[in-house]
Structure formats: C-alpha cells, structure tokens
Amino acid sequence: MGQRRTKRRAAVAVAGAVLCSVALGAGRGDAADEPDWIARPVAVLQGLDKVTARISTVTAPVGETVGFGTLLVTVETCQEHPPTLPPESAAFMVVDDQPPDEQPRRVFSGWMFASSPGLHALEHPVYDVWVLSCRSAETAGQSSAPGTN
C-alpha cells in the first residue's frame, strides 16, 4: 500500500511539474504570445464498467455533475493544446462514488491527461473513467470518427 501511495505521489509531482513548465512557457522561445492551453467548456470522457465490460462515452459540461454507474463526475476545467502544439487534452476532475442508500464518498480529485490515462488514474473496483478530449460548445455533438455525423 505504501509503495502505491509513493508511486501516486510521484505521478502527481510529475504531472504538476509538466503543467507548471507548460504554463510558464518553458522551451517555447518566441511563441510566448500564443497560449499553451485553451480552456474548453466540454470534456469528453470514456468510462468502463468492469463487471459488464461495457465502454461508454460521456459528455461532461465543465462545472456540471454527470453520472456514470454509481460515480458522480464533475469536471472543474478542461484544457487542450492549440493546433500548433502536439495534441493533448487535460481535465481537472472530482469523482464521488454514491452507491444506493449511502453517502457520497470522494474517490478521485486531480488532473487526468488524454495522452497518459494511467498517469493519474481513478482507482475504483467497478469503474474506470478517463479523458478523451476537450471540445468547444459548438463541436460538443460532433465526432471525429468517420461516418458518425
């Protein structure tokens, strides 16, 4: 158990260092006028029910709580790189578990990165939830998969 906490703390420290260096524009040279991250109003999440092996895509507006199984997921912010940088989406999420007839219990609070879902992952015996992307309100109902629109 102690080793798992040490690994989790190390992952949080690495994620924080990455966000700080990106936010400060480390290694960007003359492109400081362009933002490193763009806030988007909608997060696209994917959830796995480990019991049924069903995968679901969940659209979560920033600041609103959405349900997935017994989980209550609130995305506090969803950020993505501009098109001139390598693709990346990150969301700060708070996840509570509320089984029937029980009080909610916080099971996750932190950043998740689309390119590294295992870096700071939700640990739950029944469900997995991870970030796929961030979208603007205009593209919230669209999909980049061919033939889905």
Beta-carbon count within 10 A of 104 CB: 13
Say what the pTM is. 0.70
Q: Say which residue, 96 or 29, is predicted with more confidence.
A: 96
Q: What angle do CA 116, 119, 120 make, to 5 degrees?
A: 120
Residue-wise pLDDT for 58-98, tens only, equals: 999 999 999 999 999 999 999 999 999 999 999 999 999 99
Non-local (6+) Cβ contacts of 29 within 8 A are: none
What's the mean pLDDT in 52-63? 96
Looking up tokens 């991870």 gives 130
SS3 17: helix
Domain regions of the chain by residue span: 2-139
DSSP string, 107-149: EEEEEEETTBTTTT----SSEEEEEEEEE-GGGTT--SSTT--
In 3D, which of 87, 83, 81 has the Cα closest to residue 25? 81
Name the token pair of 14: 């690495």
